[in-house]
């Protein structure tokens, strides 16, 4: 190693003289210009993270924005199915091109690259994180007002690497009522804090069931605590998403773009109003 010049701006070594934190952020593809990046995360898998990502992307598209979804849930990629994407992603020597949904949302997911989308992905953490990094650096996203990232579930190394590699502006944390009484959500919030990414919204999924006759909200898993937790951690926005067979049906039929419901409108409006990155 060459001798330390004490000028960290011209040196990439992580020596003991380094006073500022070294950025690990990767540069996007030269043809990508993304104004805002919203990560949708959860303390564990299966709580509806992909559902919330899909709904928020559809709402943003309905607001007239140019929207992309980067599916970073490599081991459980469910975005292509929700949007009914059958076509595979193609590439040239310029880069990889996302697949466009019926209403114009660009999607990149490992399932769009695998020959057979039922093949399991038996990769270790660093390889998974590397693949997500390539979805940022090698995919030609073009001009996007918003890129939603369906984050890897949990608070492990993959989530950490993704947040260090891609300049995520804000996170939406998705939970279920059961999770809110455990420490999983608090772990996720502490991790976001550690990474210095603001959590702008807390979504309680499967919060209640609306009676089809009288619309009474039945809280199957007990009283909601989403507002109390949001207050405790200074999270500005909350939303409650019901268990709704129309949502499951929408995903199963690949027609999530046709969903009806105002549950996430406040969060979609706040994302719309967020200032864009300065360098775009």
Nearer to ligand ADP, 74 or 140 (CB): 74
78 binds ligand ADP, rule: CB under 6 A:
yes
76 binds ligand ADP, rule: CB under 6 A:
yes
188 binds ligand ADP, rule: CB under 6 A:
no
Q: Where are the alpha helices (DSSP H) in the chain?
A: 49-62, 79-82, 125-137, 157-165, 177-180, 184-194, 226-232, 245-252, 265-273
Nearer to ligand ADP, 193 or 248 (CB): 248
205 binds ligand ADP, rule: CB under 6 A:
yes
Nearer to ligand ADP, 140 or 158 (CB): 158
48 binds ligand ADP, rule: CB under 6 A:
yes
Question: What is the Cα–Cα distance from 257 to 242, expressed in whole angstroms?
Answer: 18
Pairing of strands 33-42, 170-175: parallel
Of 159, 244, 257, 268, which one interacts with ligand ADP (CB under 6 A)?
A: 244
Please give the C-alpha separations between residue 168 and each of 8, 193, 216, in angstroms, as whole numbers.
25, 13, 38
- Shortest distance, position 43 Cβ to ligand ADP, whole Å: 10
- Shortest distance, position 151 Cβ to ligand ADP, whole Å: 9
247 binds ligand ADP, rule: CB under 6 A:
yes
- Shortest distance, position 248 Cβ to ligand ADP, whole Å: 4
Return the closest-CA partner of residue 247 out of 119, 78, 60.
78
Question: What is the Cα–Cα distance from 188 to 199, expressed in whole angstroms?
Answer: 10
The alpha carbon dihedral of 125, 130, 34, 83 has a sign of negative
Binding pattern for the stretch 125-154 against ligand ADP, x by CB under 6 A and - elsewhere: ----------------------------x-
């Amino acid at each position: 190693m060459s001798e330390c010049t004490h000028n960290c701006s011209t040196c990439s070594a992580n020596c003991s003289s380094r006073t500022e934190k070294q950025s690990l952020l990767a540069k996007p593809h030269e043809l990508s210009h993304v104004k805002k990046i919203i990560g949708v995360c959860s303390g564990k898998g299966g709580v509806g993270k992909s559902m919330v990502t899909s709904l928020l992307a559809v709402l943003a598209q309905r607001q007239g924005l140019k929207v992309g979804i980067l599916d970073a849930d490599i081991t459980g990629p469910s975005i292509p199915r929700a949007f009914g994407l059958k076509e595979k992603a193609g590439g040239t020597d310029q880069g990889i091109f996302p697949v466009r949904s019926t209403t114009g949302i660009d999607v990149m997911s490992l399932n769009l690259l695998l020959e057979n989308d039922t093949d399991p992905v038996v990769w270790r953490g660093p390889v998974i994180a590397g693949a997500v990094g390539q979805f940022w650096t090698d995919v030609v996203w073009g001009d996007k007002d918003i890129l939603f990232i369906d984050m890897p579930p949990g608070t492990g190394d993959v989530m950490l690497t993704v947040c260090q590699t891609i300049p995520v502006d804000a996170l939406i944390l998705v939970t279920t009522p059961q999770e809110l009484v455990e420490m999983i959500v608090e772990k996720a919030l502490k991790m976001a804090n550690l990474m210095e990414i603001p959590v702008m919204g807390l979504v309680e999924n499967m919060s209640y069931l609306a009676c089809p006759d009288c619309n009474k909200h039945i809280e199957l898993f007990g009283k909601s605590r989403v507002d109390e937790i949001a207050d405790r951690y200074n999270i500005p926005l909350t939303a409650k998403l019901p268990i709704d067979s129309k949502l499951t049906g929408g995903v199963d039929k690949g027609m999530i773009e046709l969903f009806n419901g105002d549950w996430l409108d406040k969060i979609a409006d706040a994302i719309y109003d967020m200032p864009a990155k300065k360098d775009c």
